[in-house]
Protein backbone atom coordinates (compact mmCIF):
# COMPACT_ATOMS: atom_id res chain seq x y z
CA UNK A 1 0.00 0.00 0.00
CA UNK A 2 1.11 3.56 -0.69
CA UNK A 3 1.55 5.87 2.31
CA UNK A 4 0.33 9.42 1.53
CA UNK A 5 1.09 12.03 4.23
CA UNK A 6 -0.36 15.54 4.08
CA UNK A 7 2.20 18.06 5.27
CA UNK A 8 1.98 21.72 6.25
CA UNK A 9 4.30 24.12 8.09
CA UNK A 10 3.82 25.22 11.69
CA UNK A 11 4.63 28.57 13.34
CA UNK A 12 8.28 27.50 13.56
CA UNK A 13 8.33 26.81 9.79
CA UNK A 14 8.83 23.11 10.43
CA UNK A 15 6.99 20.33 8.62
CA UNK A 16 3.96 18.91 10.41
CA UNK A 17 1.92 15.90 9.27
CA UNK A 18 -1.74 16.73 9.89
CA UNK A 19 -3.39 13.92 7.87
CA UNK A 20 -2.29 10.69 6.21
CA UNK A 21 -3.82 7.95 4.10
CA UNK A 22 -3.08 4.52 2.64
CA UNK A 23 -3.84 3.71 -1.00
CA UNK A 24 -3.67 0.47 -2.96
CA UNK A 25 -3.48 2.31 -6.29
CA UNK A 26 -2.11 5.69 -7.37
CA UNK A 27 -4.89 6.43 -9.86
CA UNK A 28 -7.53 9.16 -10.14
CA UNK A 29 -10.37 7.32 -8.28
CA UNK A 30 -8.03 6.50 -5.37
CA UNK A 31 -6.80 10.07 -5.05
CA UNK A 32 -10.35 11.43 -5.34
CA UNK A 33 -11.46 9.15 -2.50
CA UNK A 34 -8.51 10.22 -0.34
CA UNK A 35 -9.09 13.93 -0.97
CA UNK A 36 -12.81 13.56 -0.26
CA UNK A 37 -11.90 12.01 3.11
CA UNK A 38 -9.55 14.92 3.74
CA UNK A 39 -12.29 17.40 2.87
CA UNK A 40 -14.73 15.78 5.30
CA UNK A 41 -12.15 15.74 8.10
CA UNK A 42 -11.00 19.35 7.81
CA UNK A 43 -12.85 22.48 8.91
CA UNK A 44 -11.83 24.43 5.80
CA UNK A 45 -10.34 23.80 2.38
CA UNK A 46 -6.61 24.29 1.79
CA UNK A 47 -5.85 27.28 -0.42
CA UNK A 48 -3.02 25.51 -2.23
CA UNK A 49 -1.57 22.03 -2.77
CA UNK A 50 2.10 21.44 -3.56
CA UNK A 51 2.76 18.08 -5.22
CA UNK A 52 4.97 16.47 -7.83
CA UNK A 53 3.84 16.36 -11.46
CA UNK A 54 1.65 13.28 -11.06
CA UNK A 55 -1.18 13.73 -13.64
CA UNK A 56 -3.61 11.57 -11.61
CA UNK A 57 -3.12 13.75 -8.55
CA UNK A 58 -3.56 16.91 -10.60
CA UNK A 59 -6.89 15.70 -11.97
CA UNK A 60 -8.11 14.54 -8.55
CA UNK A 61 -7.28 17.86 -6.86
CA UNK A 62 -9.15 19.78 -9.57
CA UNK A 63 -12.20 17.56 -9.08
CA UNK A 64 -12.38 17.73 -5.27
CA UNK A 65 -10.91 21.19 -4.57
CA UNK A 66 -11.97 23.25 -7.57
CA UNK A 67 -11.12 26.56 -5.85
CA UNK A 68 -7.68 25.53 -4.55
CA UNK A 69 -4.46 26.35 -6.39
CA UNK A 70 -2.25 23.43 -7.38
CA UNK A 71 1.48 24.00 -7.53
CA UNK A 72 4.22 21.64 -8.68
CA UNK A 73 7.12 21.04 -6.31
CA UNK A 74 10.04 23.12 -7.59
CA UNK A 75 12.57 20.82 -5.95
CA UNK A 76 11.35 17.80 -7.91
CA UNK A 77 11.59 19.77 -11.14
CA UNK A 78 14.99 21.37 -10.57
CA UNK A 79 16.64 18.09 -9.53
CA UNK A 80 15.92 16.77 -13.03
CA UNK A 81 17.76 19.59 -14.83
CA UNK A 82 21.13 17.81 -14.83
CA UNK A 83 19.84 14.64 -16.48
CA UNK A 84 17.74 16.56 -19.02
CA UNK A 85 20.37 18.98 -20.36
CA UNK A 86 23.14 16.48 -20.94
CA UNK A 87 26.62 15.95 -19.51
CA UNK A 88 28.20 19.22 -20.70
CA UNK A 89 25.53 21.65 -19.46
CA UNK A 90 24.95 19.67 -16.27
CA UNK A 91 28.52 20.59 -15.26
CA UNK A 92 28.25 24.21 -16.42
CA UNK A 93 28.18 26.23 -13.21
CA UNK A 94 27.29 29.44 -15.01
CA UNK A 95 24.21 27.88 -16.62
CA UNK A 96 22.93 26.50 -13.32
CA UNK A 97 23.48 29.82 -11.56
CA UNK A 98 21.62 31.79 -14.23
CA UNK A 99 18.72 29.33 -14.30
CA UNK A 100 18.44 29.19 -10.51
CA UNK A 101 18.55 32.99 -10.27
CA UNK A 102 15.47 33.17 -12.49
CA UNK A 103 13.49 30.22 -11.15
CA UNK A 104 13.89 30.90 -7.42
CA UNK A 105 13.51 34.69 -7.49
CA UNK A 106 10.22 35.51 -5.75
CA UNK A 107 10.43 39.22 -6.60
CA UNK A 108 10.10 38.81 -10.38
CA UNK A 109 6.91 39.76 -12.15
CA UNK A 110 5.58 37.22 -14.72
CA UNK A 111 6.64 39.30 -17.75
CA UNK A 112 10.15 39.77 -16.35
CA UNK A 113 10.49 36.06 -15.61
CA UNK A 114 9.34 35.15 -19.12
CA UNK A 115 11.85 37.51 -20.75
CA UNK A 116 14.76 36.25 -18.66
CA UNK A 117 13.79 32.57 -19.06
CA UNK A 118 13.73 32.90 -22.84
CA UNK A 119 17.04 34.81 -22.79
CA UNK A 120 18.86 32.11 -20.81
CA UNK A 121 17.43 29.26 -22.89
CA UNK A 122 18.35 31.10 -26.08
CA UNK A 123 21.89 31.68 -24.80
CA UNK A 124 22.37 27.95 -24.22
CA UNK A 125 20.41 26.70 -27.25
CA UNK A 126 17.54 25.18 -25.26
CA UNK A 127 14.56 27.00 -26.75
CA UNK A 128 13.52 23.91 -28.74
CA UNK A 129 14.34 21.44 -25.95
CA UNK A 130 11.22 19.29 -25.39
CA UNK A 131 11.51 19.11 -21.58
CA UNK A 132 12.03 22.85 -21.16
CA UNK A 133 9.16 23.45 -23.58
CA UNK A 134 6.92 21.40 -21.27
CA UNK A 135 8.07 23.42 -18.28
CA UNK A 136 7.36 26.61 -20.18
CA UNK A 137 3.80 25.49 -20.93
CA UNK A 138 3.32 24.61 -17.24
CA UNK A 139 5.10 27.73 -15.89
CA UNK A 140 1.96 29.04 -14.14
CA UNK A 141 1.93 25.84 -12.07
CA UNK A 142 5.39 26.07 -10.50
CA UNK A 143 7.15 29.44 -10.92
CA UNK A 144 6.85 31.80 -7.86
CA UNK A 145 6.03 34.80 -10.09
CA UNK A 146 2.58 33.31 -10.71
CA UNK A 147 1.80 32.64 -7.03
CA UNK A 148 2.22 36.11 -5.55
CA UNK A 149 -1.44 36.20 -4.53
CA UNK A 150 -1.25 32.94 -2.55
CA UNK A 151 0.14 32.70 1.00
CA UNK A 152 2.39 29.63 0.98
CA UNK A 153 4.06 29.94 4.40
CA UNK A 154 7.56 29.15 3.20
CA UNK A 155 6.56 26.36 0.85
CA UNK A 156 7.99 28.34 -2.07
CA UNK A 157 11.52 28.89 -0.88
CA UNK A 158 12.06 25.43 0.50
CA UNK A 159 13.96 23.06 -1.74
CA UNK A 160 13.02 19.65 -0.41
CA UNK A 161 10.24 19.59 2.20
CA UNK A 162 8.60 16.57 0.60
CA UNK A 163 11.82 14.59 0.45
CA UNK A 164 12.59 15.64 4.02
CA UNK A 165 9.27 14.16 5.13
CA UNK A 166 9.95 10.96 3.22
CA UNK A 167 13.32 10.69 4.95
CA UNK A 168 11.74 11.37 8.36
CA UNK A 169 9.09 8.67 8.05
CA UNK A 170 11.65 6.32 6.50
CA UNK A 171 13.35 6.14 9.90
CA UNK A 172 10.18 4.73 11.46
CA UNK A 173 8.28 2.90 8.72
CA UNK A 174 9.15 -0.24 6.78
CA UNK A 175 7.51 -1.51 3.56
CA UNK A 176 7.52 -5.03 5.02
CA UNK A 177 5.61 -4.07 8.19
CA UNK A 178 2.13 -5.38 8.86
CA UNK A 179 -0.75 -2.94 9.18
CA UNK A 180 -0.64 -3.14 12.98
CA UNK A 181 3.12 -2.53 13.01
CA UNK A 182 2.68 0.36 10.61
CA UNK A 183 0.20 2.16 12.85
CA UNK A 184 2.41 1.63 15.88
CA UNK A 185 5.45 3.07 14.12
CA UNK A 186 3.39 5.88 12.59
CA UNK A 187 2.18 6.92 16.06
CA UNK A 188 5.79 6.96 17.26
CA UNK A 189 6.80 9.24 14.37
CA UNK A 190 3.91 11.64 15.07
CA UNK A 191 4.83 11.70 18.77
CA UNK A 192 8.35 12.78 17.81
CA UNK A 193 6.94 15.63 15.71
CA UNK A 194 4.75 16.74 18.61
CA UNK A 195 7.60 16.61 21.11
CA UNK A 196 9.77 18.75 18.81
CA UNK A 197 6.96 21.29 18.50
CA UNK A 198 6.41 21.38 22.26
CA UNK A 199 10.11 21.98 22.83
CA UNK A 200 10.18 24.81 20.29
CA UNK A 201 7.09 26.36 21.90
CA UNK A 202 8.79 26.16 25.30
CA UNK A 203 11.95 27.78 23.89
CA UNK A 204 9.83 30.72 22.69
CA UNK A 205 8.19 31.27 26.08
CA UNK A 206 10.18 33.85 27.99
CA UNK A 207 12.74 34.24 25.21
CA UNK A 208 13.96 37.78 24.59
CA UNK A 209 15.46 38.44 21.18
CA UNK A 210 18.06 41.15 20.76
CA UNK A 211 16.60 44.13 18.91
CA UNK A 212 18.51 45.84 16.11
CA UNK A 213 16.40 48.98 15.63
CA UNK A 214 14.56 51.42 17.92
CA UNK A 215 11.29 50.77 16.07
CA UNK A 216 8.23 49.72 18.06
CA UNK A 217 7.34 47.51 15.10
CA UNK A 218 10.37 45.31 15.75
CA UNK A 219 9.63 45.13 19.50
CA UNK A 220 6.04 44.11 18.78
CA UNK A 221 7.24 41.47 16.29
CA UNK A 222 9.55 39.96 18.92
CA UNK A 223 6.54 39.52 21.21
CA UNK A 224 4.10 37.94 18.76
CA UNK A 225 6.29 35.79 16.49
CA UNK A 226 8.17 32.59 17.20
CA UNK A 227 11.96 32.85 17.32
CA UNK A 228 12.39 31.42 13.83
CA UNK A 229 9.86 33.71 12.18
CA UNK A 230 10.97 36.77 14.16
CA UNK A 231 14.54 36.47 12.91
CA UNK A 232 13.25 36.52 9.34
CA UNK A 233 10.97 39.49 10.03
CA UNK A 234 13.76 41.28 11.91
CA UNK A 235 16.01 40.94 8.88
CA UNK A 236 13.37 42.62 6.71
CA UNK A 237 12.74 45.39 9.24
CA UNK A 238 16.47 46.08 9.57
CA UNK A 239 16.94 46.17 5.80
CA UNK A 240 13.92 48.43 5.38
CA UNK A 241 15.19 50.77 8.07
CA UNK A 242 18.80 51.14 6.96
CA UNK A 243 19.01 50.05 3.32
CA UNK A 244 15.74 51.35 1.84
CA UNK A 245 14.45 54.86 1.36
CA UNK A 246 11.19 56.36 0.16
CA UNK A 247 11.71 58.11 -3.18
CA UNK A 248 8.25 59.42 -3.94
CA UNK A 249 4.56 59.27 -3.00
CA UNK A 250 1.79 59.84 -5.54
CA UNK A 251 -1.96 59.86 -4.91
CA UNK A 252 -4.53 59.25 -7.62
CA UNK A 253 -8.06 58.83 -6.32
CA UNK A 254 -8.13 55.92 -3.87
CA UNK A 255 -4.73 54.63 -5.02
CA UNK A 256 -1.51 55.75 -3.34
CA UNK A 257 1.74 54.82 -5.10
CA UNK A 258 5.02 54.54 -3.17
CA UNK A 259 8.41 54.26 -4.88
CA UNK A 260 10.99 52.67 -2.57
CA UNK A 261 14.66 52.32 -3.54
CA UNK A 262 16.83 49.57 -2.05
CA UNK A 263 20.61 50.02 -2.04
CA UNK A 264 20.48 51.85 -5.40
CA UNK A 265 19.98 48.41 -6.97
CA UNK A 266 16.25 47.74 -6.93
CA UNK A 267 13.19 49.95 -7.08
CA UNK A 268 9.95 48.71 -5.51
CA UNK A 269 6.67 50.28 -6.56
CA UNK A 270 3.82 49.69 -4.11
CA UNK A 271 0.23 50.53 -5.05
CA UNK A 272 -2.03 50.84 -2.00
CA UNK A 273 -5.80 50.97 -2.26
CA UNK A 274 -7.56 52.71 0.65
CA UNK A 275 -10.88 51.30 -0.55
CA UNK A 276 -10.18 47.68 0.36
CA UNK A 277 -6.84 48.08 2.22
CA UNK A 278 -5.04 45.98 -0.39
CA UNK A 279 -1.58 46.48 -1.86
CA UNK A 280 0.37 45.24 -4.86
CA UNK A 281 4.11 45.46 -5.35
CA UNK A 282 6.41 45.30 -8.37
CA UNK A 283 10.20 45.31 -8.49
CA UNK A 284 12.68 46.49 -11.09
CA UNK A 285 16.48 46.48 -11.12
CA UNK A 286 18.67 49.37 -12.25
pTM above 0.85, yes or no: no
In this prediction, residues 57-83 reach a mean pLDDT of 91
Architecture of domain 2-73+149-195: 2-Layer Sandwich (3.30)
List pLDDT tens digits, range 42-52. 888 888 888 88
* DSSP calls for the chain: -EEEEEEEE-TTS-EEEEEEEEES--SHHHHHHHHHHHHHHSSS--SEEEE-S-HHHHHHHHHH-TTSEEEE-HHHHHTTHHHHH-HHHHT-HHHHHHHHHHHT-TT--HHHHHHHHHHHHHHTT-TT-HHHHHHHHTGGGT-GGG-TTS--TTTTT-S-HHHHHHHHHHTT--TT--HHHHHHHHHHHHHHHHHHHHHHHHHHTT--PPPSSS-HHHHHHHHHS-HHHHHHHHHHHHHHHHTEEEEEEEEETTEEEEEEEETTTEEEEEEEETTTTEEEEEEEE-
List pLDDT tens digits, range 116-147. 999 999 999 999 999 999 999 999 999 988 88
In this prediction, residues 207-231 reach a mean pLDDT of 92
Domain ranges of the chain: 2-73+149-195, 75-141, 208-241, 243-285
User: Quick check: 66 pLDDT over 80?
Assistant: yes
Amino acid sequence: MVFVPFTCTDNHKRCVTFRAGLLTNEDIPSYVWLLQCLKEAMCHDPSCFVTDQDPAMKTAIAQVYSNARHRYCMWHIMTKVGEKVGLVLSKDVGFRQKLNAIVWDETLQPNVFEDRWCAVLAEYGLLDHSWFSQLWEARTSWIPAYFKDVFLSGMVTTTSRSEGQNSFFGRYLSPTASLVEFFSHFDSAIDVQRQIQLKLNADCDGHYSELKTPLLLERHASAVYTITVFHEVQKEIYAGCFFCRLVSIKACGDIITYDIKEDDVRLFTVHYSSTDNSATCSCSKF
